[in-house]
Amino acid sequence: MFPLPPAMRQALDAARDAAARGEVPVGAVVMCGEQVVAVAANAPRALCDPTAHAEMLAIRAAARALGRDRLEDCDLWVTLEPCAMCAGAIAHARVARLYFGADDAKGGAVEHGPRFFAQPTCHHRPEVYAGIGAGESAMLLRDFFSARRAG
């Protein structure tokens, strides 16, 4: 087994932190070249904000850190296939490349459901790389939901 790219390693660590706080374990990292610009974890419960997905928080933090609303020279790493809302935000932010871990057959909107970036109305399509760290990401989610069912 070859090591994961450091950005996905960091996103998985953020996802694990989210689980420890009772949030669905999803983590995201924005990279600008080799530089980490933002790291975020899913936090809708803590923030009382249904839009506080890891990708949204990471994109907002990165844009603030860089002082601009376009991230066309940035890459987003996230442990789970983005939903429709986050795919929309990725397009609005003009993210160059999207790397994601586990597939989300129920809530994903990149390779499932609306397939947002494939729609003719989508004005920006990042390069998409799927399945990076997918096993570990899926295991975090499985453990989280099975612990909740047991509890």
* Active site residue ranges: 55
- Give Cα separations from 103 to 71, 83, 99, 112 (angstroms): 24, 11, 11, 8
Q: Convert residues 84-123 into a mask of x (bound to Zn ion by CB under 5 A) and - (unbound).
A: -xx-------------------------------------
**DSSP-assigned letter for residue 119:** S
Query: Does 24 sit near Zn ion (CB under 5 A)?
Result: no
From 3-11, 41-49, 75-83, 110-118, span contacting Zn ion (CB under 5 A): 75-83
Question: Which residues sit opposite 41 in a β-bridge?
Answer: 27
Closest CB 83 distance from Zn ion, rounded Å: 3
Query: Does 132 sit near Zn ion (CB under 5 A)?
Result: no
Q: What does 1-61 look like in DSSP terms, one character per residue?
A: -PPPPHHHHHHHHHHHHHHHTTS---EEEEEETTEEEEEEE--HHHHT-TT--HHHHHHHH
Query: Does 53 sit near Zn ion (CB under 5 A)?
Result: yes
Nearest-10 crossing angle of helices 6-20, 54-66: 120
Q: With CB under 5 A as the rule, give the number of residues binding Zn ion.
A: 4
Query: Does 83 sit near Zn ion (CB under 5 A)?
Result: yes
Query: Does 60 sit near Zn ion (CB under 5 A)?
Result: no
Q: Under the rule (CB under 5 A), what is the footprint of Zn ion?
A: 53, 83, 85-86
